[in-house]
Structure 1
Amino acid sequence: MKGIYVLVIAIRKNITVKIGALGAISFRKGFYAYVGSAQNNLAKRLNRHFRKDAKRIRWHIDYLLAKDAVSIVKIFSKEAGKTEECLTAQRLSEFGFPIKGFGCSDCDCQSHLLLLNDYGLLEKTCVELGFVNFHLASESLH
């Protein structure tokens, strides 16, 4: 199944990460939302994001998720085409602070990653947009 997803990511301490051609980016401790898509196999893509082993670094999100201080705490997903990925990123950007250029090298979006300032509204909007909500970890988002 192809689809789009929103990863809710916890960064447990302030870190700086070299993100490919974007260079070094400083991330504050907190919760982030990343919008992505899988045009062939959504489950396989999501499973890949959980791996911390020596996977090939392919996307901006891979650089971030490889860090020990970073973990995925929740996933929202739905069956949808790639065009909905950008629409979702734009809609969710009102609930946080976009990290300029992150995850959007193949589109005209400002960002596909944002530091959340209102998790409750993000969750409510994802559900309204038809995403399925999967809780993955016990870290508190509230």
Structure 2
Amino acid sequence: MVSNSIPHNKGVYLLVINVDEDIVVKTRRRIFDINRGTYIYVGSARGNGGLRSRLTRYLYKSGKLFWHIDYLLSSNSTKLVEFCFYVTDEDLESFLASILIKMCYPITGFGSSDKKRDPSHLFRCNHLDSVFNKLYRLLPGLKCITI
């Protein structure tokens, strides 16, 4: 079981998501046009259960639709293909978003309502290899699992 390899520690995570066709994602307050492509979502797991609890939620699409990412992953046109995590007590979510915005295309306002200075936490990425090469250099303990 994939979830057994995820620690209970606090940390940050990245979700790699394939979107098979153009879709419209309607959340409680926003509407996002998401084009076909590959996306990286950055988030943090700082509550009870840490990374395992948060990532298991996405792996098994469990729980009510709450965060923007829940709405995106609930679409039949999306597939979570890989996830990465980095164990840390530091909140590196904004740091990772600042790296991704330089290498990918942000979906303005998606997933960043709790981080007012971040334009987005969802990014369309055309060059995953170069993105992850940089992330591995910046976060040597980053672990990724292909689903």
Q: Tell me the TM-score normalized by structure 2.
A: 0.85
Q: 5+ unaligned residues in a row in structure 2: which ranges?
A: 1-8
How many positions carry a matched residue from both structures?
Answer: 134
Structure-to-structure mapping, 1:99-114, within 5 angstroms: 99-107=107-115, 108-114=117-123
Question: How far has the Cα of 1:82 moved from its partner?
Answer: 5.1
Q: How far apart, CA to CA, are the structure 1 residues paired with 2:90 and 2:113?
A: 14
How many Å apart are 1:51 and its aligned residue? 2.5
Matched AA of 1:29: R
Counterpart secondary structure, 1:35: strand
Q: Which residue of 2 aligns with 1:133?
A: 144
Render the CA deviation track for 1:86-110: whole Å, top value 9, x for unaligned: 1011111122110001111111200
Match of 1:17 in 2: 25
Identical amino acids, percent of aligned pairs? 33
Aligned counterparts of 1:110 and 1:9: Cα–Cα separation in 2: 19
Q: Which runs of 5+ in 1 are unaligned?
A: 137-142
2:106 pairs with 1:95: no
Shift of 1:19: 2.4
TM-score, length basis structure 1:
0.88
Match for residue 51 of structure 2 among 42, 54, 58: 42
Task: Give the root-mean-square deviation of aligned CA atoms.
Answer: 1.3
The residue that corresponds to 2:77 in the other structure is 69
Deviation at residue 18 of structure 1 after TM alignment = 0.6
Q: Match for residue 140 of structure 1?
A: none
Q: Which amino acid aligns with 2:41?
A: Y
